[in-house]
Amino acid sequence: MKVLSSPAAERNKGPIADALEHIVPPRGLLLEIASGSGQHAEHFAERFPELVIQPSDPAEDARVSLEARRLALGARNLRAPLAIDVTDPRWERSLEGEQVTAVLSINMIHIAQAEATPGLFRGAAALLAAGSPCVLYGPFRFHGSFLAESNAAFDADLRRRDPRWGIRDVDEVTAVAAAAGFVREEMVAMPANNHVLVFRRS
């Protein structure tokens, strides 16, 4: 099984885990959307041994990598990956009957079509109890502006690659989340002009 690796994921997995420490319950089930190479899920399973990590990804090569990392790690709290695409209107059925305590999506909404953001929050609303967090990490625009020239250049590159992609504005994401029943609770500045956005199910 081919194991994928991302230098960015290797750099940011520690800081993201540090931020999650005071956001995500120490026990329960954490659903990660668009887990990619699996470096985050692998690290979180080691960092939070009492928390069950459920990775997912719509791409088969990512799921193969996730499973390879899971088998190599041998951690009981890291589950086999699910094939979840948040643009599927009923994607939450993959976890029917489960008690999900937190949903996490890292670097997903800017490399997906715009419909992925409402799809993520709609499904998360169906899975999470009141007060539970849905957490996003990545680059964002603020009131239509970029924090740095590097983010603006990254956004332009994304849109060249696929016109449906692009760095989302915090105000727009917050409005989409509110429509699904979430309130933005916190915004945490992270390295390399990224942010963690914390939304709570109301």
The ranges assigned to domains in the chain are 7-201
Mean pLDDT across 16-39: 97
Report the percent of the chain where pLDDT is more than 70.
Answer: 100
pLDDT, tens digit, for every residue of 37-89? 999 999 999 999 999 999 999 999 999 999 999 999 999 999 999 999 999 99
The dihedral of CA 191, 21, 23, 83: what is its sign?
Answer: positive
Q: Using the predicted structure, report yes or no on whether residue 142 has a pLDDT greater than 80.
A: yes
- Cα–Cα distances (Å) from 132 to 82, 152, 155, 182, in that order, read 21, 32, 31, 9
> How high is the mean pLDDT of the chain?
97
CA nearest to 135, candidates 99, 180, 188: 188
Mean pLDDT across 83-101: 96
> How many other CB atoms sit within 10 Å of the CB of residue 40?
26
Alpha-carbon distance of 159 to 167, in angstroms, equals: 9
Q: Which CATH superfamily is domain 7-201 in?
A: Vaccinia Virus protein VP39 (3.40.50.150)
